[in-house]
Structure 1
Amino acid sequence: MNLAATLAIALAMSTDAFAVAIGKGAALHRPQLKEALRTGLIFGVIEGLTPLVGWALGKVAAPYVEAWDHWIAFTLLGVLGLRMIHASLTADEEEEEKPSSHGFWLLAITGFATSIDAMVVGASLAFIDANIFTTAGAIGLATFTMVTLGVMLGRGLGQLVGKRAELVGGLVLIAIGGVILYEHLSVG
């Protein structure tokens, strides 16, 4: 997998966390850089570790699905992309209660919830034998950056930008899945 694809995956994986960070920033009264960095670090570490877990699980399954690996990666990335697009187009039915401050465990649980997709991507990457450490590092760094920015931008921008970022991330994942499928089918 090339650098452009790695960066595209990293940015796509960070968009849902960015959307959440905008909401977290909007929930705070004038968020400070220290809170934004702390939130970004928690999300970035979690988002960087979950693809490693998914990759390890995918490596265990890889010998059994080698003939279908490109279809599995295409399907997983496509479904994940469609889920992100659907979430971006669906209006929130009820507004969450806004906390006055964000505790570590609340941020960690929220960070884990937004990183499940990164675990699926990690499993997908195991099937195509990609360098998981580079990709996981890029995902963690992109998430740290996007969440830090999201918290700082949240108060002024609200959820509008977060929903659009998630839409773009979903489209990017579907495109990457399509490229993986195309590359494997055109070689074979």
Structure 2
Amino acid sequence: MGFVGILLLSFGLAMDSSAVSACEGLAMPKYNAKLAATIALSYGGAEGLMAFLGWLLGSQFYSLISSFDHWVVFILLSIIGGKMIWDAFHEDPADQAKASSEHFSPQEIILLSIVTSVDALAAGVSFAFIKINVPLAVAMIAIVSAGCSFGSTLIGHFISAKFGRAAEVAGGVILFLIGLYVLLHDLGVVAF
């Protein structure tokens, strides 16, 4: 996977944390740049760390499944993307409104950053089965997630909670399309 693929993957993985960051921005009665930076660093760090841990886990099993690895990548990214889309349409608006009316503590921010980065762990597992520059991918995932989270906190504070659903759907679609591309490329259907 080249630079553009890694960049698209990074944005896809950042959508969960961006959606939650937007809710955290909504919870700020007055915009707090220091808190927004803390949120961004927490989400970016968790996404990068989980992707790296996933790669370590996946590399242990590479020799066992290298003959059908493209299917593993496609299935993992499709499940993650599908779950993101499902969650976007099945969230209870009352729960979302309640979450946005409460202030997020540092413990809640850390917990949410771990929970929203589980998809990065699964994506990291797939790194062992595709040709990818792991340090670049991990760094880009962390940086893009941090940047998107910071921006989403600002947007969430100034705009509305509706952005969260659109972000989750876009992230799910991007992850599915990346998985489909890897599958079709390894099967020789597409050459680019």
2:40 maps to what in 1? 40
- State the 1:60 CA deviation: 0.2
Task: For 1:167, give the aligned amino acid.
Answer: V
1:27 maps to what in 2? 27
Q: Which runs of 4 or more aligned residues in structure 1 lie more than 6 Å from their structure 2 counterparts after TM superposition?
A: none
1:123 corresponds to 2:111: no
Query: 1 CA distance for matches of 2:161 and 2:59?
Result: 37
Query: 2 CA distance for matches of 1:132 and 1:122?
Result: 9
Task: For 1:140, give the aligned amino acid.
Answer: A
1:106 maps to what in 2? 108
1:169 maps to what in 2? 171
Identity %: 27
- RMSD over equivalenced CA pairs, Å: 1.4
Q: How does 1:68-147 map to 2 (within 5 A)?
A: 68-92=68-92, 94-95=94-95, 96-97=98-99, 98-100=101-103, 102-147=104-149
Query: 2 CA distance for matches of 1:157 and 1:87?
Result: 21
1:140-166 CA deviation, whole Å, 9 max, x = no partner? 001111111111111232221111011
Task: For 2:68, give the aligned amino acid.
Answer: W
Question: Is there any run of 5+ residues in structure 2 with no aligned partner, and where?
Answer: none
- Answer whether contact 1:78 1:173 (CA < 8 A) is retained: yes
TM-score scaled by structure 2? 0.92
Query: 2 CA distance for matches of 1:57 and 1:133?
Result: 15
TM-score scaled by structure 1? 0.94
Query: 1 CA distance for matches of 2:66 and 2:125?
Result: 13
Q: How many residues align?
A: 186
